[in-house]
Amino acid sequence: MGNWKKIRMARSRVAILIMGVVLWCCLTTPAKAEYMKYKDPKQPIPVRIQDLLDRMTLEEKIGQMVQIERKVASADVMKEYFIGSVLSGGGSVPAPQASAETWINMVNDFQRGSLSTRLGIPMIYGIDSVHGNNNVYKATIFPHNIGLGASRDPELVNKIGAATALETRATGIPYAFAPCIAVCRDPRWGRCYESYSEDPQIVKDMTDIIPGLQGNIPTDSPKGVPFVAGKNNVVACSKHYVGDGGTTKGINENNTVIDWQGLLSIHMPAYHTSIMKGVSTVMISYSSWNGIKMHANRELITGFLKNTLGFKGFVISDWEGLDRITYPPHANYSYSIQAGIHAGIDMVMVPYNYKEFIDGLTFHVKNNVIPMSRIDDAVRRILRVKFVMGLFENPLADNSLVDQLGSQEHRELAREAVRKSLVLLKNGQSLNRPLLPLPKKTSKILVAGSHADNLGYQCGGWTIEWQGFNGNNRTIGTTIVAAIKNTIDPSTNVVFKENPNAEFVKSNNFSYAIVVVGEHPYAETDGDSMNLTIADPGPTTIRNVCGALKCVVIIISGHPVVIEPYLASIDALVAAWLPGTEGQGVADVVFGDYGFTGKLPRTWFKTVDQLPMNVGDPHYDPLYPFGFGITTEPTTRQSDDNPFLSISSYFN
């Protein structure tokens, strides 16, 4: 018996040893990673969305709905609060004159915080690339939309969209808050230069910028589904839904009083066209429609945009858009959250007080004030855009596109856009004695005016800073006076004096003068104007110069301005709008290398008392009607004794 006992004990020890070895192997052999459908790019996007949504907690879902400003963002904040998006507000940059690489490093730092979360949902970074990647040093600054509307050239606008996408991606950013498809019906509005035209058809035509930004939508793409072609493209954003350009007296963020048919026929068409072209996001307007704040308008956001028009991308608020549902803003933020999310807003540009928003929305969901179905709809839409654009497969930016920023090719495109945006309103004191194009070869010419040698002024608002800048040292470009010097014959003496007195003008024996005046830069409410005048000392400069010399006046402005009091003394008048960094395009046309082709995208009034006044109105009595523009032919004329080629004027 003793031997049997010893044998049994030995067998037990062997069994225990084998079990230990097996257990050790189990513990040390890596477990096969769980297959997650949402991480598999081969799975259909609806399957990926549902798989991820099923895994998400309420906290993770609400985080996706939050967009915060870069100043309050960090990798730790992204990770702790599951933040879905970050933005740069106007002028918000990682460093003054930051390089593309500096931008990329900042964006990637935030992204790594997002990727380190439990589910690793990447964030999407957005910026106001409204006329190029305009916050960024050395970027190509294209003409503002009002000038592009004057070009009547959707193909050109499509190319500008593609160039803007490349320059935005060059800084690691995949989301542009563009285009603005407002139909500005009153030039007193401070955002009128962001509108292509007072005519809904022109605005519709210019939505060709969307496939430029996002890529061409496949012919078999389902209606309303967002589309982004790849890493050379960006998510676009049609804004501001809806009626932002129709407010009373053009007051920014005010009330648009118009019936349903008027809203549909004037302000809505470009949204339908945008959706057909695959736009990924729509931004809501601060304004109201017949007294109802758009940020709280469920009928128009959920009922019409999502359900009737079939928009499947995500709806984003404007900056502090929920706060401004109440007056004063933020007076009842709990109500604002409830009203905005219930209306159908999916992502909220908070942008600073994100903890208050997260706590408020969480409270409303847990107390059944906002149903989970509304949260799921918002998150499903946000994830759809992120999957469509390939953000899960390529969340981190690299340096492969940095050379696109301010590239020569893009500057040439911007120069072409400037040429096509110029509108010639007057050419000579009589039709048979035109002044333009000017001779390149003459003895001496005068260039005058506050806007002739000021890159900031010619770019306008939304350039480097939210409100724009003054001077030539904030970014790279060509001023109009530099362009003139580049273009004229080397033997011609160019004298630049910003605001010469009458005696100086008369005593210097100039052949002719070019006067460049206009508005100082502005954005949004700061641009609202009830008088629409040329900034001082512009009127004085016009009087002093044009009273003594043959003169061309070039107006740099974001909307038509009062010009009739000075018109008799002006020999030639050019509306150059806000041309951007490539001032060479102005000289190209003024000196005849190219002809004038631009047409007024909006009515030029005689006096502000006539406003609002749009083409088709019964009281229509403009100084220059919508569609007006004198055309000229290019000429190779080099001296002031050569004949001018034929010119004509016509209307659209």
Instruction: Determine the Cα–Cα distance for residues 506 and 155; give it in Å rounded to an integer.
Output: 46
Report, as residue numbers or ranges, the catalytic residues: 318, 524
Whether pLDDT at 639 is above 90: no
Whether pLDDT at 20 is above 90: no
Mean pLDDT in residue range 202-215: 98
Chain-centroid distance of CA 426 in Å reads 31
Instruction: Determine the Cα–Cα distance for residues 186 and 193; give it in Å rounded to an integer.
Output: 11
pLDDT exceeding 70 applies to what percent of the chain?
A: 92
Q: Using pLDDT thresholds of 50, 70 and 90, give the confidence band for residue 257.
A: very high
Instruction: Determine the Cα–Cα distance for residues 623 and 570; give it in Å rounded to an integer.
Output: 15
What's the pLDDT tens digit per position in 602-633?
999 999 999 999 999 999 999 999 999 999 99
In a 13 Å sphere around the CA of 315, the CA atoms on its Cβ side amount to: 35
What's the pLDDT tens digit per position in 290-319?
999 999 999 999 999 999 999 999 999 999
Q: Using pLDDT thresholds of 50, 70 and 90, give the confidence band for residue 131.
A: very high
461 burial via Cβ count (<10 Å: 0-12, 13-18, 19+)? buried
Instruction: Determine the Cα–Cα distance for residues 166 and 163; give it in Å rounded to an integer.
Output: 5
Whether pLDDT at 225 is above 70: yes
pLDDT of residue 365: 98
Mean pLDDT in residue range 16-40: 62
Least Cα distance to 84 among 53, 111, 52, 48 occurs for 111
Q: Using pLDDT thresholds of 50, 70 and 90, give the confidence band for residue 638.
A: very low
pLDDT of residue 32: 64
In the chain, the N- to C-terminal Cα span, in Å, equals 116
Beta strands in 206-293 (DSSP E): 237-241, 255-256, 281-284, 288-289, 292-293
Cα 499–Cα 503–Cα 509 angle in degrees, nearest 5:
95
The domains located in the chain, with CATH, are: 60-134+158-180+198-244+253-404 (3.20.20.300), 422-624 (3.40.50.1700)
Mean pLDDT in residue range 137-154: 99
What's the pLDDT tens digit per position in 581-602?
999 999 999 999 999 999 999 9
pLDDT of residue 497: 98
What's the pLDDT tens digit per position in 353-393?
999 999 999 999 999 999 999 999 999 999 999 999 999 99
Mean pLDDT in residue range 638-648: 40
3-state secondary structure 185-204: CCCCCCCHHHCCECCHHHHH
pLDDT of residue 636: 64
- Are the C-beta atoms of residues 235 and 176 closer than 8 Å to each other? yes
What's the pLDDT tens digit per position in 494-541?
999 999 999 999 999 999 999 999 999 999 999 999 999 999 999 999
Whether pLDDT at 642 is above 60: no
SS3 551: strand
Average pLDDT in the chain: 94
Instruction: Determine the Cα–Cα distance for residues 248 and 245; give it in Å rounded to an integer.
Output: 9
Whether pLDDT at 579 is above 70: yes
pLDDT of residue 589: 98
Least Cα distance to 109 among 79, 138, 64 occurs for 79
Beta strands in 36-152 (DSSP E): 66-69, 85-88, 124-127
pLDDT of residue 8: 52
Instruction: Name the phi and psi angles at 329, rounded to 5.
Output: -55, 145
pLDDT of residue 11: 53
Instruction: Determine the Cα–Cα distance for residues 24 and 34; give it in Å rounded to an integer.
Output: 22
CA dihedral 460, 463, 468, 469 (to 10 degrees): -100
Instruction: Determine the Cα–Cα distance for residues 236 and 129; give it in Å rounded to an integer.
Output: 10
Whether pLDDT at 40 is above 80: yes
pLDDT exceeding 90 applies to what percent of the chain?
A: 91
Instruction: Determine the Cα–Cα distance for residues 48 and 45; give it in Å rounded to an integer.
Output: 5
Cα 512–Cα 518–Cα 523 angle in degrees, nearest 5:
155
Least Cα distance to 111 among 35, 51, 133, 103 occurs for 103
- Are the C-beta atoms of residues 399 and 109 closer than 8 Å to each other? no
Whether pLDDT at 10 is above 80: no
Instruction: Determine the Cα–Cα distance for residues 93 and 100; give it in Å rounded to an integer.
Output: 11
Beta strands in 435-504 (DSSP E): 444-448, 493-497
pLDDT of residue 7: 47
